[in-house]
Homo-oligomer: A and B are copies of this chain.
């Protein structure tokens, strides 16, 4: 099992323990990824150079966590779909 699948398992457990999976439709998670990535962007809102590395790291982690939750909800093999998209982007 690669790290992505491990990560999905770990996060899935976390979410199920809290009964949050009932809210985790793909549409809700897509909104959530978008919302979290905006909170991350906030670190660079007024100044692109001086940002709090600690806060940035935490906001980024939240984006990643929602991405893995999406991987769970849509049953994505994350490693594989990245490889496929990279191959497609390479052609462009």
Question: Which residue from chain B places its CB closest to the CB of A42 in the assembled complex?
Answer: B35
In the complex, how many residues of chain A place their beta carbon closer than 8 angstroms to a beta carbon of chain B? 56
The A interface is mostly helix, strand or loop, or mixed, namely helix
In the complex, chain A residues 6-33 whose Cβ is within 8 Å of any chain B Cβ: 7, 10-11, 14, 23, 25-28, 30-33
Q: Which residues of B contact A79 (CB under 8 A)?
A: 3, 7
CA distance A60 to B78 in the complex (A): 9
Q: Within the assembled complex, what's the spacing in Å between the Cα atoms of A29 and B76?
A: 23
Residues in B whose Cβ lies below 8 Å from that of A43: 30
Closest 8 CB pairs of A and B: A38-B38, A61-B85, A3-B3, A27-B48, A27-B44, A2-B3, A34-B37, A37-B37
